[in-house]
Amino acid sequence: MMFRWSPGALRLSWQRFALADASTSTRTRFTETGFCRELSAILSSPRLGDQLVYTRRSRKVSHDKHARNLAIMSCPFVSRLTMSYVKKYASPLIAMYQRQCPYLARSVNTASACSQQASVKQSFNCPVDVEGRCNRCPFLAANKAAIKSVSTADAVEFSEGPWTEEEPAGKPQFGYESHFSMMIAKKKMDHSYRVFKKVNRLAAEFPKATEHSSESDDSKPITVWCSNDYLGMSRHEKVKEAVRQALESHGAGAGGTRNISGNSLMHENLEKDLAQLHSKQAALLFTSCFVANDTTLFTLGKLVPGIHIFSDAGNHASLIQGIRNCGAPKHVFRHNDVAHLRELLRRVPKSTPKVVVFESVHSMTGDISPMEQICDLAHEYGALTFVDEVHAVGLYGERGAGVAEARGILDKMDVISGTLGKAFGNIGGYVTSTSNFVDFIRSYGAGFIFTTSLPPTVLCGARASVAVLSSPEGRLLRRRHQEMVSYMKGALKAAGLPVIDSESHIIPVHVGDPAACTKVSNELMQFGHYVQAINYPTVARGEERLRLAPTPFHDEEMVDRFVQDMCEAWQIAGLSLSPAERWRPANTANFSNSEKLV
C-alpha cells in the first residue's frame, strides 16, 4: 500500500516507527533511530519534490533510481534501512529536514550526478561518530518536541496502483460531472432509471394517500397497492400512542451508539420480545434489516475460520453484499432447489464450517421456500441455517413469528433475521439466535457497533406493534389479509392478467418489458391507483413486473375497480390479456392454502 504525506504529517511522532533491534532479532521496538530511518527513506526520490515511481508488478525501481538508492544507503543512519522503506515513502519530508542534516543536503544536491553513473563509486563521509551508544542523528534532535505533537494519523491512504511522475500543469482533470451524467443517461436509456413518486400516506384513511408528483401544487387522491406496511400497523392507535408517549418522555433521538449513551431499557426490552417471538435465546437490533443481514454475514464470514457460505440464487441484495464482502468461499444454489444444494454441500468436507443462507418468502416472486427440507439438509452436512423472514414476520404463524412458526420448525432455524419496517409498520431490523451467537455479532459487527442506535419512538412503537400482532387481534388481521390476497389473485387471473403463482401474500404480475411496465404503472396512477413498476436491477431483465400487496383494509369493491382499471391500462400500454372468461368478482372461499399459514 502506498501513502502520500499531508503537511501535518511532516512532524511525525518518532515513537510510532518500528525498528528491528539487533539484540532482539525479529522483534521490534519504537526508537528515535526508527524515526531517523524513516526520514532517510525520503532520499530514495530522484529529486526534491518528486514522488517515488514504483511498479508493483515487477517489484523493482528503475535502474537510475536504484543506483541513487544505493548511494544514499552509504549514510550510517540510512544504511540500516530496508529497501521496503525506500519503496514505501516519498519525498515531502526532505524539504523540512535537509536543512538540519548536512549529509541529507549533500545527497540531494548530488542527485543528478548519482543517477548518471552506471555504477556507484562515490561515497560520503558523515561527520558524526555512530559507534557505540551514539546511534541518533544529532541534526534531527532539535525537532524532537515538534515531532511528538503530530501522529501518523495524517497519512492519507491511496489505491494500490503504481505511482507516476507528476503530470504537467494545465493538463485537464478527469471529467467527474460528465461521467456522472453519462451513467445517469445510461440508466434512462435502458428504462432502469428510478423516478420516485411523491406520495403522502393518510393514517386516518389507510390505504389512501395523496400524490404530489406533478409539477403543479395540486395533490391527487390515490389508493396504494404496493406498500410493505402489509397490515397497516403504522397507523394503529396503540402504536401511535406508544410513539407519542416515548417522544414526550425520552425525546426524538437515541443520543449515541449502543456502547456510548445510546443503550436503554427500551432497546433491551424490544430485543427480549423479539427473541421470545422467535423462540430464541437472544436478539440484536439494527438500524435496518439490510444492515442486519450485511453485518451478520460479513462478520460470520470474516471471523469463523475456513467457513463456506451456501446462498440461494434468489437472495436479497443485503444477503448477497454481506456474503460477497466477507471474502469467504461461496456456493450459489438454484432458487429453492434442494437437490442442487445437496450437490454443492457434498463437495465440502463435513468438518468444514458452513452456513446456508436463504429467504422464507421471496420478495419479488412471492415464493415460499422449502424451509424444512433446506434446514434438514444443512444440518445433515453440519451447516448453520440463516433464514431471512423479512416478508413473513407479523404475517404468518399463531403469534406472527413467520413461516417457520406456521410450519412448526422454529427450532430448525439457527439464525433468523427480520424487520420492523414491513408488517410491524416501523423501521429497523434484527437477528435472533443463541446468546453466544448474538453476543458474537454484538461484539464484532461493525454495522452494529459504529452507528447511532434506534430512537425511543421507534422502539416503543415497534414493541407495541409486536404485542398487537402476537394477540388475537393480530390473528384476525392476518386472516382478513389472506382473504383479500386470495380475492385479488382470483380477480386478476379471471381478467386474463398474467399473475405469477405464489402461495404468499405477494402478487406479482408479469410484464417482461421495462418500458411497458413503467407505462402501465403511470396509467394506473392516472386512474388513482399507485403500483410501482419493478424493473432491473431489482429483478432480472425480462422479468419486469408489477408487485401488488393488498392489505386487510382494502375491500372487494376497491379490488374490483382496480382490476377493471388495470385491464384498461394494460391495453393502453400495448399489452394483451390472456384468453379468459368475462371478468367477474373472484370467489373468496378458496384460500385454504393461505389459511394454513395464518
DSSP H or E run through 333: strand 330-333
User: Of 65, 280, 354, 422, which residue is the catalytic one?
Assistant: 422
Q: Across the strands, what pairs with 285?
A: 430
Backbone dihedral angles phi then psi of residue 340, each to the nearest 5 degrees:
-65, -40
Please give the Cα distance from 427 to 162 (Å, whole number).
Answer: 45
Please give the Cα distance from 550 to 561 (Å, whole number).
Answer: 13
DSSP H or E run through 473: helix 472-494
Please give the Cα distance from 81 to 18 (Å, whole number).
Answer: 11
At a CB cut-off of 8 Å and minimum separation 6, what does 429 contact?
285, 286, 287, 288, 289, 290, 291, 292, 293, 390, 417, 418, 419, 420, 421
At a CB cut-off of 8 Å and minimum separation 6, what does 69 contact?
43, 44, 61, 83, 86
Instruction: Please state, in angstroms and as integers, the Cα–Cα distance from residue 204 to each residue in 209, 234, 261, 553, 568, following that order.
Output: 10, 11, 36, 12, 30
> In the chain, what's the furthest Cα-to-Cα distance?
104
Please give the Cα distance from 342 to 373 (Å, whole number).
Answer: 10
DSSP H or E run through 372: helix 371-380
DSSP strand E in 476-544: where?
Answer: 507-510, 529-530, 533-534
User: What is the radius of gyration, based on Cα positions, of the chain?
Assistant: 33
Would you call 422 a catalytic residue per the annotation?
yes
Please give the Cα distance from 44 to 484 (Å, whole number).
Answer: 75
CA dihedral 475, 478, 479, 482 (to 10 degrees): -160
Helix axes 556-572, 472-494, angle to 10 degrees: 40
Please give the Cα distance from 138 to 124 (Å, whole number).
Answer: 17
- The alpha-helical segments, DSSP class H, found in 26-143 are 32-41, 63-72, 83-88, 94-97, 102-109, 111-116, 138-141
DSSP strand E in 421-558: where?
Answer: 429-433, 507-510, 529-530, 533-534, 545-548
Q: Could you give the count of Cα atoms lying within 13 Å of 361 in the half-sphere of its Cβ?
A: 27
DSSP strand E in 401-466: where?
Answer: 415-419, 429-433
According to DSSP, residue 119 is labeled S
The residues annotated with a catalytic role in the active site are 422
